[in-house]
A = this chain, B = another copy of it.
Amino acid sequence: MTKPKPLFHTLLLILPIIALFPSSPESRRLPFLGKHSLLHKPTNNIINSNYTYEIRYFQQTLDHFSFDDRPKFPQRYLINTDHWAGPSRMGPIFLYCGNEGDIEWFAVNSGFVWELAPSFGALVIFPEHRYYGESMPYGSRDEAYKNASTLAHLTAEQALADYAVLITDLKRNLSAEASPVILFGGSYGGMLAAWMRLKYPHIAIGALAASAPILQFEDIVPLETFYNIVSNDFRRESTSCFDTIKKSWAVITSVGQKVNGLDHLAETFHLCGKLKSTYDLSNWLDSAYSYLAMVDYPYPSDFLMPLPAYPIKEVCKEIDRSADGTNVLDQIFKGVSVYYNYTGEADCFDLDDDPHGMSGWDWQACTEMVMPMSSDKNSSMFPEWAYNYTSYAEECFNNFGVKPRPTWITTEFGGHDYKSVLKTFGSNIIFSNGLLDPWSGGSVLENISDSVVALVTEEGAHHLDLRAATADDPDWLVAQRASEVKLIKGWIDDYYTTKKSVFNM
């Protein structure tokens, strides 16, 4: 029996993983590689057959902003018109902004959109992000990911233009030019939804941007924010758990330096193969803690891994339960086993199981999506680490032959002085966040105006609100979703009113 593996993961998390362990040779070689990511399609047990859709392909322009002669590529999208009120009644269109992965996986994990559609009489469409899933330029993933020149057009602006072109064409074909479009998105997809609302107000009248860290650029938020939130998620469950994790890094380093130390560590952590460096192990543990913070959901879930409700509480229980002051590593192993082996099916763990080499998000992080992160000695349970752009850029150049443009995202989409800008010139955006989610620190957490609204839940984690309703949903989650529905309904009502008044102008 092989080890279980995360079905997928939100690649946004890749960056912090390396940021913390940059000095190992591995990190220099593959600074942003999502070692634990799988780009496979979801397995059957995840696909909820309640969401039915047709799969279609659109011949998409590769470069919207220049006229270099490049081949079009087939952009995949999922569409469901079952509940649509149709063009004559200006039935709305719900568009999920596909993010960095297979669009079917996002579709099945965004039950909220599907559940909302019938009552709104909405058409549902999930377009896939270019260079992910099946939406590959140049005929195949191998060709698309060949080098910096073929990857050149994997950018957020091109992806937004894809959605704009696709939905414009679709609406024209359906004679549905007057149907209002509502955007949805989580994580990077939430960033795309918010940005699309700002950049294409003629195409979409509102956006639900769930867990969208649009401020995680340059110095807009403190660089320590992400790891501080992860750390606080553990500390709130148990101070001793936090302390144990905090001191474990030094123990790992120390043990690893001893004779046969790496073998001892491999044995302690039930690794399938040899451990090549303590970096690999630390990286693996960092992943677990960070992902746990993202998916610290109030009920059992299997978004990234099969997990119990409030999994950090369970991890800390395990760590604290076996505390006797001497075997820190055993404690840590028992803790992370909740994450990596909740079903108990794994006999051993493989730290290096990504067969894909370069991932798309690595490229994006090395070009536009430069999200600086540090770890603070005092407030974090992780090792101290200060962000260094120079070495970041060097590693990007070594890996991809590309130079990042670290200030481009805020130039193109804004970010600095966002309160003034959104208050005065933005409208119809919901920024939803759960404060357990480490990405929440890079999002908008205050109401900006009547129509740029922050819905914040103390106990929520990474875009929990986009998931399907369950019988275990706590009241605050039910209330959050109800607020979202009410706001979206308001946008659509306003739209119909404006249409009417302009018609009479």
Contacts and interface: CB of A to CB of B under 8 A. Distances in A.
Interface stretch (A52-60, A249-257, A265-273, A415-423): A415-423
Given A149-B68, A202-B417, A164 B63 contact: no
Interface in A250-309: none
A153 interface: yes
Copies of this protein in the complex: 2
A332 interface: no
Contact of A63 (B61, B66, B199, B200): B66
Interface in A55-92: 61, 63-69
B505 A419 contact: yes
A402 interface: yes
A125 B426 CA distance: 27
A367 B67 contact: yes
A232 interface: no
Contacts of A66: 63, 65-66, 152-153, 155, 158
A407 interface: yes
A221 to B, nearest CB: 16
A417 B505 contact: no
Interface stretch (A18-26, A379-387, A494-502): A494-502
B402 A67 contact: yes
A118 to B, nearest CB: 27
Nearest to A363: B67
A429 to B, nearest CB: 11
A95 B499 CA distance: 34
A211 interface: no
Contact of A407 (B168, B178, B418): B168
A408 B177 contact: no
A165 B410 CA distance: 10
A414 B202 contact: yes
A65 B158 contact: yes
B68 A423 contact: no
Contacts of A158: 65-66
A420 B499 contact: yes
A328 interface: no
A427 B494 CA distance: 17
Contact of A419 (B65, B408, B419, B502): B502
B367 A498 contact: no
B424 A505 contact: no
Nearest to A405: B61
A198 interface: yes
Interface of A: 61, 63-69, 148-149, 151-153, 155, 157-158, 161, 164-165, 168, 177-178, 198-203, 205, 367, 401-402, 405, 407-408, 411-421, 423-427, 446, 494-495, 498-499, 502, 505
5 contacts: A63-B66, A65-B158, A201-B425, A420-B502, A424-B498
Given A205-B424, A424-B495, 5 more contacts: A64-B65, A66-B158, A201-B424, A202-B415, A420-B498
